[in-house]
Amino acid sequence: MSNLLMEGLNDQDFLRYSRQIMLPDIGEKGQLSLRNSTVLMVGSGGLGSAVSMYLAAAGIGTLIIADGDKLEISNLQRQVVYRKSNLGQNKAIAMAQQLKELNSAVTVEVISHRLNEPELSRFINQVDVVLDCSDNLFTRHEINAACVKNKVPLISGAAIGWQGQLMMFSNQQRGNQKASACYHCLFPFTESQQTENCQSFGIVGPVVGMIGNLQALETIKYLTQPNWIKWSTIHQFDGRTLQWSCIDIPKDNTCSVCCPSQAFHHVSREVLQSKECINGEFVYE
């Protein structure tokens, strides 16, 4: 889909991305890596707003956005990619429009419904990295299972109130054994009476923006300097004190999702047919 390896950068590209190309750790090679990359972002709320704008601005090649919700007025306090004129529109479609204004060189693909299996795995199987920007534990576990199954890295963000969490999972195997932990190793439950979401607990805009920004940062790092990434970690942010904690996540050998005895189901690479093309964008309705 996005794997058309393009020629080198042109003069406009050098100008536009000059402030990151001039970093020796990115350079022209890193910029081309970004342009030749495909990222799946599930959820286009507060996390997704920050992630998508920074990745589009940085010149990511293809950004696939999945969200089935419509924009509500209570979203505008923190979901800063949207404008009032987007109220009532599907969020993924509205986001794609805003991103094209920001950087028309980015291919934005839209999934304007809730992305579930088996479709989820078909998309995950064709991307370089998955960003979990969703708002519920069920979806988070479904994304995790699909990333583990397809061995695709997962950069997961979450935020509520004044708190944020950033989690990094490589989902790569060493030999026959999966070397790293997965989201289910960390949170081995799908339901909790205290499962917190923005509807019931509130959220401070800059806190969710902070975590989204860091998801974008880690994505850019993964695509340009992958050895810098510290996988199997959870970073927790407290917006009240500005304190961070970084915690290592060991692999849980009893994990029902990623333990070695778990059979990995191979999902063949499929070419997805777009059902509709709106304003030059692919939309999967």
Partner 1 sequence: MSNLITIELNTVAYRIERIHSIHSFFSQYKVDTQGCALAMNNQIIPRAEWQTRGLSDGESISLFQAIAGG
DSSP 84: G
Q: Which amino acid is at 207?
A: V
Number of residues that bind partner 1 (CB under 8 A): 47
Nearest of 50, 25, 40, 34 to residue 166 by alpha carbon = 50
Q: Does 254 bind partner 1 (CB under 8 A)?
A: yes
| Catalytic (active-site) positions | 198
Q: Does 185 bind partner 1 (CB under 8 A)?
A: yes
Please state whether beta strands 281-284 and 173-174 pair in parallel, antiparallel, or not at all (unpaired): unpaired
Among 19, 189, 242, 261, binds partner 1 (CB under 8 A): 189
- Chain positions 51 to 80 lying near partner 1, rule: CB under 8 A, are none
DSSP 59: T
CB of 158 to partner 1, least distance (A): 4
3-state secondary structure of 284: strand
Q: Give the range of 15-23, 99-107, 112-120, 250-258 binding partner 1 by CB under 8 A.
A: 250-258
Q: Which amino acid is at 8?
A: G
CB of 132 to partner 1, least distance (A): 8
CA–CA separation, 276 and 96 (whole Å): 14
Among 56, 154, 159, 168, binds partner 1 (CB under 8 A): 159
Q: Which amino acid is at 160?
A: I
Among 30, 45, 59, 61, binds partner 1 (CB under 8 A): 45
Contact by Cβ (8 Å): 102, 57: yes
Residue 177 or 192: which CB sits closer to partner 1? 192
**Cβ density class 221-246: b for 16+ within 10 Å, e for less:** bbbbeeeeeebbbbbebebeeeeeee
Which residues have CB under 8 Å from 146's CB, separation 6+?
A: 117, 120, 121, 124, 130, 152
Q: Does 209 bind partner 1 (CB under 8 A)?
A: no
User: Using CB under 8 A as the criterion, what x/- string covers residues 118-157 for binding partner 1?
Assistant: --------------xxxxxx--x----------------x
Contact by Cβ (8 Å): 12, 104: no
| Cα radius of gyration (the chain) | 18
Residue 201 or 264: which CB sits closer to partner 1? 201
Contact by Cβ (8 Å): 181, 169: yes
CA–CA separation, 245 and 234 (whole Å): 8
Q: Does 223 bind partner 1 (CB under 8 A)?
A: no
Among 58, 160, 214, 257, binds partner 1 (CB under 8 A): 160
Residue 127 or 159: which CB sits closer to partner 1? 159
Q: Does 195 bind partner 1 (CB under 8 A)?
A: yes
Residue 34 or 182: which CB sits closer to partner 1? 182
Binding site for partner 1 (CB under 8 A): 43, 45-48, 132-137, 140, 157-160, 163-165, 181, 185-189, 192-198, 201, 203, 208, 234, 236, 245-250, 252-255
